[in-house]
Amino acid sequence: MKRHTARTLLAAGGTVTAAALLLTGCGSGFSGGGTSSSGAGDLTSSKKALTVMIGSSGDAETKAVQDAVAAWSKESGTKASVVAATDLAQQLSQGFAASTPPDVFYLSTDQIAGYASNGSLKAYGDMLKNKDDFYPSLVKNFTVDGKFYCAPKDFSTLQLIINTDLWTKAGLTDADIPTTWDQLASVAKKLTTGTTKGLVFGGEYARIGAFMAQAGGRLVSADGKKAEANSDANVEALTYVQQHLKDGTFAYAKDVGAGWGGEAFGKQLGAMTIEGNWITGGLQSDFPNVKYKVAELPAGPKGKGTLQFTNCWGMAADSPNQKAALDLIEYLTTAKQQLAFSKAFGPMPSVQSAADTWKSDNSALVPFLTGADYAQGVPTTKGSADVVTDFNSQLEGLKTGDPKAILESVQSNLEAIVK
C-alpha cells in the first residue's frame, strides 16, 4: 500500500464513495461472444485477455505487479495486462459507468460498500482455495451483508516510530519505550525541545482513531450495526490527545509545517510519530540519514489498540473471464508471491502462512505485524467515508474544541447511515 494513499485514504474516501454511488443501476457490459455462465454462483469463462488495474506507489510496485501477472500469464496461457492508473478511483468509476471495467483491480475498504450495493462486484471470496489463510480481521473488512467479496492483497497497521538519536540525546533508553498513555506523555515531554515536538502525527481519524481503539472505543460497532462515536471511551481518547496538543508535547503535522507525520519525523520536527509501515520507504527515499526504531503503540485504558488499512483484489461482476481472474488472484495472494511483493515495495502479506518468513526478513518491523492481532478496521458502511471526512475537518480544531460535541456530531451523522 502506498504511503500517501494510506494516509489520505479516509480523507479522499468521500469522493470515491460518491462516485461509486453514481453507478447505481450500472452493471451490464462486456458484450461479445465466447462467454459462458450457468448460474448466479458460477464464474464466467472465455478466451478473452484479462485487464488488471492498480493504484501504484511508484515504479517498484508497478514492475512487481507486472512481473507477477506476466509470470502467471505464461504459466496459465491466458493473456493479461496491467494498467497503472493515474487516478484509480476516477478511472475505476469511469470504467464501471461505461460498462468497461477492468477484470481485476485494487479496491479499498471505503469503496467496497458502494460498489457491492450496485452489483458491480463479484463476491468470490468463499471460492478462494486459500480463504482460510487470510487474517480474519482483513476478511471482515471485505465482507458486506455476510458475503466475503474479495481477497485482501496486503495490509498495514499503525505503530510508534521513534527517532533513536533524539531519544538517546534526551537520556532515554529502551527501558523507557512507552507502554501506557502516561508513559507516552512523559517521554513526549522529555523529547520536546526547541522546534522539535515529542510526538507529531496527522490530525485525522486515520491516526487519532488509534487512541480511540486503545480506550476501548470505535466509530461503529464490531458488527457494523450500531453507531458508537459518542461513547465515553472515545471522549476519553480525544480528551487525552487534546490535553497534550494544548501542553505542546503533541502536535499535528500541518501545525509544524509538514504534509504528514513521516515528513515531520524525517525533518526532526517530531521525535516520534504514529504511522504505518509505508513510512519505511518514505524515510529511505527522502531522509536516509534518520535513524529510527519501531515500537508497538502504548496501551490505553482498555489495552492495546491500533488501526489497520488494506486493499483487496476486486473482481468485476461483468468480467467475461472470472474463472481466469480467480486463478490469477489466488496466484497473487500466495505466501510466496506476497513475500516477493513485500520485498519489492513494502506491504505486509495478508496471509498468515507468510508471517514467520516476513518476521524473519523484517525483524525491525515486527511490531507492525504484531498489531494485526488487535487492530481495528475503518468503517466500511456505505456513506461512512463522507462521515469520516467531516470528522477530520472537526478534528482540525480539537486543540480548542469540545471533544464530546465533536463526537456527538459524528454520532448523528453515523446514525443516518448505520441501520
243: cell is 490535553
Strands (E), 88-195: 104-108, 143-144, 147-148, 151-157, 159-163
Mean pLDDT of the chain: 90
3 state SS of 102? coil
Residues with Cβ within 8 Å of 393's Cβ and at least 6 positions away in sequence, in order, are: none
Is the predicted pLDDT of residue 35 greater than 80, yes or no?
no
- Choice between 30 and 150, residue whose per-residue pLDDT is larger: 150
The whole-angstrom separation of Cα 184 and Cα 400 is 22
224 — pLDDT class (breaks 50, 70, 90):
confident
Is the predicted pLDDT of residue 126 greater than 80, yes or no?
yes
Neighbours of 137 (CB within 10 A): 18
Burial class (CB in 10 A: 0-12, 13-18, 19+), 363: exposed
The answer to whether 93 and 22 have CB atoms below 8 angstroms apart is yes
Is the predicted pLDDT of residue 37 greater than 80, yes or no?
no
The whole-angstrom separation of Cα 236 and Cα 404 is 9
> What is the Cα 39 distance to its own chain's centre?
34
Q: Do domains 3-156+309-377 and 159-296+383-415 have the same CATH topology?
A: yes
Domain positions in the chain are 3-156+309-377, 159-296+383-415
The answer to whether 54 and 85 have CB atoms below 8 angstroms apart is yes
Given this model, what pLDDT does residue 316 score?
98
46: cell is 472465455
Is the predicted pLDDT of residue 223 greater than 90, yes or no?
no
285 — pLDDT class (breaks 50, 70, 90):
confident
The whole-angstrom separation of Cα 120 and Cα 211 is 35
Fold for 3-156+309-377, please state it.
Answer: D-Maltodextrin-Binding Protein; domain 2 (3.40.190)
The whole-angstrom separation of Cα 419 and Cα 363 is 43
Is the predicted pLDDT of residue 20 greater than 50, yes or no?
no
What CATH number was assigned to the domain covering residues 159-296+383-415?
A: 3.40.190.10
Span 235-269, pLDDT tens digits: 999 999 999 999 999 999 999 999 999 999 999 99
Given this model, what pLDDT does residue 32 score?
35
Is the predicted pLDDT of residue 3 greater than 80, yes or no?
no
Given this model, what pLDDT does residue 278 score?
87
The answer to whether 374 and 205 have CB atoms below 8 angstroms apart is no
Lowest mean pLDDT among 19-28, 232-241, 375-384: 19-28
Given this model, what pLDDT does residue 226 score?
96
Q: Give the single-character DSSP code of 50.
A: E
> What is the Cα 351 distance to its own chain's centre?
16
- Which H/E stretch holds residue 327? helix 322-332
Is the predicted pLDDT of residue 307 greater than 70, yes or no?
yes
The whole-angstrom separation of Cα 372 and Cα 358 is 13
The answer to whether 73 and 103 have CB atoms below 8 angstroms apart is no
Secondary structure, 3-state, 141-161: HCEECCEECCEEEEEEECEEE
Given this model, what pLDDT does residue 258 score?
97
Closest CA to 372 of 156, 222, 161: 156
- Which H/E stretch holds residue 10? helix 3-21
Is the predicted pLDDT of residue 98 greater than 50, yes or no?
yes
Given this model, what pLDDT does residue 80 score?
98
What letters, b where the CB count within 10 A reaches 16 and e where it falls short, cover 384-405?
bbbbbbebbebbeebbeebbee
